[in-house]
Structure 1
Amino acid sequence: MTSLATLSPLTLHPHTPHHIANLSLVNIAARQRMLSQRMILQTVMAANGDAEWLRAAHGSLLIFTESQQHLDATIKKLEPASAQKLTDTYDGPNGVGPVVQAFMRLMRSTLDQIEAGSPRVPATIAELVGHTDRILAALNTATTAFDEVSQAGSDAMMKELAGIVDDIQGVAKEAKVVSFNAQVMAARAGQHGREFAVVANVLSDITGEIDRLTRKAAVLAERSRRR
């Protein structure tokens, strides 16, 4: 098993600091948990005088800060119920926002002290490590809230999709009746109804295809709902 001392800073350094938009809100919130622990580890190693670990810690803090800013900005753009839930999670009476902000301030202060060679570094490192459980619990709470909001959005979308499928199936049934009646009328019209019969047959084919697609959509919607 590889010891902590033999790990390279790059092992714990994120690859790309600006690929935030490609992740879902739930994934970003979950990644914040991992980044918080990564930063603490990198900072502890940097306190031993390793410049590479210090750069790695700065990089992780940058990503953490950008991700948090992205989450904060996105919350304001969500529909009211979701935005309120997440706002309460961060800014409510027991909100996690102050914990996250305090952690970022402590991390910046620690890195600044390490760079300056401050004699306060050991005490600050101890404070930072002591903050581990608190920040992790806060970020777990935030991730759970984002997950619940995401799930609620998926459920609402599936319900709307099911309603649309029902509407399409209703139209398809009516079109089938029209097609059948048209075929009957065409048959009664004999030679004069030949062209009308062609149209009726095409309409029948279209309604059959609509039926097939709506059944497929209904199966997919039900499968997604059960996940």
Structure 2
Amino acid sequence: MPPFDAVPAKALNAHAISRHVSGAAFGNLINLSGRRRFTSQRLALYAVLAEQNPGAGHMTIARDALKLLTDAHRALVQGNRDTPGIFCDELHNAYFGPLQADAAISAFISLGHDALAAVERRAPAADGLVTDLIDSAARLLPLLNEVTQLYEALARRHAEQAQQKRAAVMHRIETIAKQARMVAFNAKVVAVRAGSDGREFSVVASALTDITGEIDELVRQALGGIDD
């Protein structure tokens, strides 16, 4: 039985825990966590069916579920091209702290390999291993739910922080635009006082006024999108 290559806590460095995560990556993480929850239960169900009715295709479904579960867990813990793995202290604590989610999920995956192998061989131990797999799946489900809820909470926090940052940038731009309008107004006053000598200066001031007007409109549109 090929053991699942779980990652020890000491292998996760500070860079991995503090990396930036995009909104799209959060979507992938939540989907993978939900898939892990679904496939764990599917694995247990089809292991039972494969034991009761060999040759009906149940073993293929059980093995597919086990592979999906293994791949999802590996991506969530180790990361890949589309997912960051463990990127914050909350997740590190969930997987390697008191909850020991990584150890529990890895043990379930290993038990799944053992149970399916025994069922395929029709070994005497198959019935006991399948029973253990069912019991383990039931115990694992609340843990998987808790970890999935953590990903969802982290995604909400990320969205709120991103919204606050965008709003802060837009308000900063709005402040700069107001300052630019004051400069344009003062420039027009100077141009009027200078008479014909200030004609070119007046043209520049008018152009600056037009630019600040465009900035104001962009800020209003951006802030409107943020508020929505």
Counterpart secondary structure, 1:109: helix
Q: Work out whether 1:181 is the aligned partner of 2:222.
A: no
Structure-1 residue corresponding to 2:73: 68
Contiguous gaps of at least 5 residues in structure 1: 1-20
Cα shift at 1:150: 1.8
The CA distance in 2 between the partners of 1:25 and 1:154, in whole Å, is: 14
1:22–1:157 Cα change, 3 Å? closer
1:147–1:22 Cα change, 3 Å? closer
Structure-1 residue corresponding to 2:17: none
How many residues end up aligned between the 2 structures? 199
Answer whether contact 1:107 1:128 (CA < 8 A) is retained: yes
Which whole-Å deviations, capped at 9, do the CAs of 1:90-139 have from their partners, x for residues lacking one?
Answer: 11123322221121111111111122121222222222122232111111
Answer whether contact 1:183 1:200 (CA < 8 A) is retained: yes
Ranges of 4+ aligned residues in structure 1 off by more than 6 Å: none
Answer whether contact 1:99 1:134 (CA < 8 A) is retained: no
1:49–1:76 Cα change, 3 Å? closer
The CA distance in 2 between the partners of 1:31 and 1:77, in whole Å, is: 17
> Mapping of 1:70-89 within 5 angstroms?
70-74=75-79, 78=87, 83-89=88-94
Structure-1 residue corresponding to 2:96: 91
Structure-1 residue corresponding to 2:41: 37
Counterpart secondary structure, 1:24: helix
Structure-2 residue corresponding to 1:141: 146
Structure-1 residue corresponding to 2:113: 108
The CA distance in 2 between the partners of 1:184 and 1:125, in whole Å, is: 87
Greater Cα offset, 64-73 or 89-98? 89-98
Q: Report the aligned-residue RMSD.
A: 2.1
Structure-2 residue corresponding to 1:3: none
Structure-1 residue corresponding to 2:156: 151
Q: Work out whether 1:164 is the aligned partner of 2:192.
A: no
Structure-2 residue corresponding to 1:220: 225
Structure-2 residue corresponding to 1:207: 212
Cα shift at 1:77: 5.8
Identity rate of aligned residues, in percent?
33
Cα shift at 1:177: 0.6
Contiguous gaps of at least 5 residues in structure 2: 1-24
Answer whether contact 1:33 1:140 (CA < 8 A) is retained: yes
Q: Work out whether 1:26 is the aligned partner of 2:52.
A: no
Answer whether contact 2:26 2:151 (CA < 8 A) is retained: no
Structure-2 residue corresponding to 1:198: 203
Paired AA for residue 190 in structure 2: M
When normalised by structure 2's length, the TM-score is 0.78
The CA distance in 2 between the partners of 1:58 and 1:127, in whole Å, is: 17
Higher relative contact order (CA 8 A, sep 6+): 2
Paired AA for residue 106 in structure 1: L
Counterpart secondary structure, 1:184: helix
Counterpart secondary structure, 1:50: coil
